[in-house]
Structure 1
Amino acid sequence: MSLFDFASNLGKKLFGSDEDPAEEIQKHIESDNPGVDGLKVTVADGIATVSGSAKDQAAYEKAILMAGNVQGIQEVKADALHLEDKTAANVEYYTIESGDSLWAIAQKHLGNGNDYTKIFEANKEVIKDPDLIYPGQKIRIPLEK
């Protein structure tokens, strides 16, 4: 599963049948704006399209993850999300599985469970509480260069 693909039946429930999905996802991203100016979100047939200007790779990825980790979204398109600073960060993406904890993920991917705080900090807009992650949620794992 790439950064842009998500499980539509999993994720945070942000909107009901009487609410505008695009408006609710846009509010969700703006509430903890990871660094995107001129944010605009549209949704059609389970596909969220995100546009604007992301200050760096982390902001770009977090906006995509925040939109995609929403129930009902199966894909995020970000062709119109401009990346200002194109300095590449060394990250990988991980989809939370049942029974996972940030500690276990850090142990597996970073070699030390105590480094769960690095994963939390790299996802603070995506994960509100390090103890409240859910299966299907996609996160960034920062890797050492």
Structure 2
Amino acid sequence: MPTLDDFKKKYESVLELIPKNNVRLDHLHVANEKLVMTGAAPSEKIRNKVWNQIKAVDPIFADLQCEIAIDSSLPEPIRTYTVVAGDSLWRIAQNHYGNGALYPKIIAANPGKLKDDKSVIHPGDVLAVPED
């Protein structure tokens, strides 16, 4: 009979993804030889991200019962990026979104640091880079 530690090892990548995406994990236990996981995600997009990781571990997840609700009071995760020499807002957007023209998303996410497309960034600056 699998133990909680056995399930934690199997679904390790899922359990690592949960806190990084501000998913609240309310219960994690074993019942009827299944890992039972309940919690809440800040958005449908984040809930889907968790489910996609579950399916990457085990496409049929027959040993898992997972219920993740949406709780919009939970904050969306904030991804940060530390500027390196040679970076520009365009280059950062290109690397994160696959489209440099989306750099205004980075400006909007950093109102205390960036005013507009003429804002200067320096190596070592830490910028919020919203998920796409």
TM-score range, shorter chain: 0.3 to 0.5
User: Which structure: larger Rg?
Assistant: 2
TM-score w.r.t. the length of structure 1 is 0.38
Higher relative contact order (CA 8 A, sep 6+): 1
